[in-house]
Amino acid sequence: MPIWDQSGCVVITCRKQASCNSQARNTFSERTDGTPYLSASPKQAEQPLHGNGPWSCSGVIVDQRQGIVLCHGSVFLPFLLNDIDLVCLEQKQLLLPENLSHDLVVNIQCATENKKKEYTKSNIHMDIGAGNPDLGVIALSNEGGLQRRAKQHEAQLLMMVPCKEFQNTFHKLFSKAESWSFSSEEDKLDHNELEKDLHFLHWFAVLKTTHKGDSGSAEMKFMQASSLHKGDVLFTCGSPFGFFYPDIFLNTLSKGVVSNVAGEGNAVILTDSRCLPGTEGGGAYTICEGSLVLVGIIVVPLCWKANEWIGLTVLCSVSQILENVKMVLPVLSRPLIDMWPRMMLKPKFSMESELSSNLIQHLTSAAVLVDCGHVWGSGVIVNTRTVLTCRHVVSGASRILVRRRYQTVGGLHRHIRCNNTVIWIILLQKRHLVSQCQVMEHGAGDDDVAHLLRFHAVRGKVVFATKEYSPFDIAVVELEKSFPGFIEPALGSAYTTGDDVGIIAFGAFGTQCGPSVTSGILSAVIEVNNVPVMLQSTCAVHSGSSGGPLFNTRTRELLGIVASNTRDNSVGATYPHLNFSVPITLMQPGLSQYYKSKDLRGFEELDWTSDSVRAAWRLQRKPKQINMSKL
């Protein structure tokens, strides 16, 4: 059994008078034609927040031999005693079973598998690679019955601990002012209970189950999240819809990359691996030395910003969670203290990644934030003094600042060269120290010091922007001076549908944690008269990503400039995984001419396009030819 299936489980909580085996009513509704469809998860279907349950989330069996399970704390929220309010909860470092209702019942469901196939390091890539039939849909009807079954075991809550590092970083990234939401409109609870849920996001539960792995169970390996780089491959494993139909949904695997990291020890991890409600508490794994290692726990599978679906999943570093567990061990009983030395974090020796850290550093060095004061977007440096972005990002802006984040090595910031003066950055007791003249020069206070150390801003002016009637949403910004350490990207010359691509942009989080990386494929190349005029990809794109670079992750070539994603105005839904970019091949003639003579006529040709190109970008069908009247 693969490690994610061997260690994944569903955690179910309920009261003694309620059966943890019961299925929530109205889990299935009927269409108008009488066929059923899934309408709600058991956690949400006609169950009051402080009702009997059952409640469920995903979990990870972190120690097979001793039956230790780690999961998210949300399913225990309804069982908190009434004397624990939000203020009291913020001050606590530990919750024990006596802090919860005495009639709490906990069970876990884990997989039992009859397959004879053995999973080893040598075939791990084959098993989780694209096109492997083992990851396909298992037929509901076959001679031998279902190949996997979920078995239920009793469990007990040992303790609940908060991860303060996650909480502090989370609230900085997802500020209320930016209208972040973590549940869809139809699934939202009333305001007070939703607020309580958000205060509980950083709590995690440790359980002990009666289920024990066999003698051949693989030992769970952990990795410090501080070893992660943007673009590293991540696999997430959780059970959509909780305990509903575990024979089908238990331990569903998804694949993505590390989109961004933030906080102490990378406590908050963002990934574009697609997760669903019910996967909270599931594990996030990366590949180290040929095997999967646990690096994070799923906290928030869905994110909206101002009613726009972001398409990213929020994880908490498992190493930070375990460090918080170790901090409270001295106040616990001896049996609990004795079991934890087994769970030592495994050092990372090497990382096998489709997007290597060197590649991501190379690509992110070209990605910039284009700040126009009232609006901001993304851009890409294509020459020491030239930035490409979107027309709608810089439209009407009289003052433009182009911000680029400095790369870091081993957690220490490189030196910054500013005005021909090298200023060395020293990290001492987690405080950034810079010379006072540098802070005063930028007009920054103490609160802005950390921001100064991460970003370098250069003024720029718009030298060209396509007309409003042009289908190509492109602008050219000329910088007053060059960014140090910039590596000019190679420009692509050909496009192949199905190629692995990535988008690096400042959407959603701006300068708070640098550009985010999302992965996908080049899903379509739209041509007019055999000339590519539009690129379509499956990378997650959202507000603020406009102008960001679309790269081929294998060749490292710049393929295009992100112009838009897709929105259905009839229902107000935005689809981040369906987006469009302007091919770089259309801009290469203009760039060559501009580099040589500052002549912009090569770009001006983008304003004069055929009706077919306009129709493609406006998502309109080509008008049918109308026969002329003989009258």
Residue numbers annotated as active site: 392, 473, 546
DSSP string covering 254-274, please? EEEEEEEEESGGG-EEEE---
**Helix or strand holding residue 627 (H, E):** none
Quote the distance between the C-alpha of residue 216 and its chain's center: 34
CB atoms within 10 A of CB 303: 20
Q: Are 315 and 321 in contact (CB under 8 A)?
A: no
- Dihedral pair phi/psi, residue 134, rounded to 5°: -65, -20
- Convert 156-175 into a string of H (helix), E (strand) and C (coil): EEEEEEECHHHHHHHHHHCC
- Dihedral pair phi/psi, residue 14, rounded to 5°: -165, 180
Q: What angle do CA 360, 280, 290 make, to 5 degrees?
A: 45
Q: Are 203 and 70 in contact (CB under 8 A)?
A: no
**Helix or strand holding residue 370 (H, E):** strand 367-371
Q: What is the CA radius of gyration of the chain?
A: 26
Q: Residue 497 class from Cβ within 10 Å (0-12 exposed, 13-18 middle, 19+ buried)?
A: exposed
- The three-state secondary structure class of 448 is helix
Q: Are 320 and 275 in contact (CB under 8 A)?
A: no
Q: Which residues pair with 234 in a beta bridge?
A: 256
What is d(CA 443, CA 619) in angstroms, rounded to the nearest whole number?
Answer: 46
Q: Residue 308 class from Cβ within 10 Å (0-12 exposed, 13-18 middle, 19+ buried)?
A: buried
